């Protein structure tokens, strides 16, 4: 599968997920119908915010996956060139992958919080 098709499928999935997020169920209330008891409709700004948060989270996940893949591939290539140094390369690779994953999760939480704000 080419990169363009993969990226197009990921964007389609993000757009579909944002549509589900924006869908609201109707809730019956026993309170009188006045302007104070009604929740505000999300409107175009709310829709754009949700869509931006979804694209941001998807971008964080894609970028982080690429970073961890590059880290692992260079480390494995180095281990293949110098097998005797494999033991000293493995632990720093795992630590670096954990730090990248922590940064990815932090960025995704920020995107989700931006949607809720």
Close Cβ partners of 42 (under 8 Å, ≥ 6 residues apart) = 22, 50
Angle at 109 between CA 105 and CA 110, to 5 degrees: 120
Q: What are the tokens at 24?
A: 């609201």
Query: b/e per residue, 11-46, with b = 16+ CB within 10 A?
Result: eeebeeebeeeeeeeeeeeeeeeeeeeeeeeeeeee
Q: How far apart are CA 97 and CA 43, in angstroms?
A: 40
What value does the mean pLDDT take over residues 25-45?
A: 54
| More confident: 33 or 13 | 13
Instruction: Write the CA distances from 83 to 18, 75, 94, integer angstroms.
Output: 47, 11, 17
Q: Residue 47 pLDDT more than 70? A: yes
Q: How far apart are CA 53 and CA 67, in angstroms?
A: 21
Q: Given pLDDT bands bounded at 50, 70 and 90, which one contains residue 117?
A: low
pTM > 0.75: no
| Ranges of each domain in the chain | 64-117
**Distance spanning both ends of the chain, measured CA to CA:** 37
What value does the mean pLDDT take over residues 16-39?
A: 53
Q: How far apart are CA 95 and CA 22, in angstroms?
A: 38
| More confident: 104 or 13 | 104
Query: Could you read off the pLDDT of 51-102 as tens digits, one per residue?
Result: 888 888 888 889 999 999 999 999 999 999 998 988 898 899 999 999 999 9
């Amino acid at each position: 599968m080419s990169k363009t098709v993969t990226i197009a499928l990921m964007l389609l999935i993000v757009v579909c997920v944002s549509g589900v997020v924006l869908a609201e169920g109707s809730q019956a209330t026993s309170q009188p119908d006045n302007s104070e008891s009604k929740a505000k409709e999300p409107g175009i700004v709310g829709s754009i915010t949700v869509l931006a948060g979804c694209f941001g989270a998807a971008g964080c996940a894609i970028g982080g996956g690429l970073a961890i893949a590059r880290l692992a591939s260079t480390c494995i290539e180095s281990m293949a060139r110098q097998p005797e140094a494999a033991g000293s390369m493995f632990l720093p690779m795992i630590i670096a992958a954990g730090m990248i994953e922590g940064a990815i999760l932090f960025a995704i939480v920020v995107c989700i919080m931006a949607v809720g704000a």
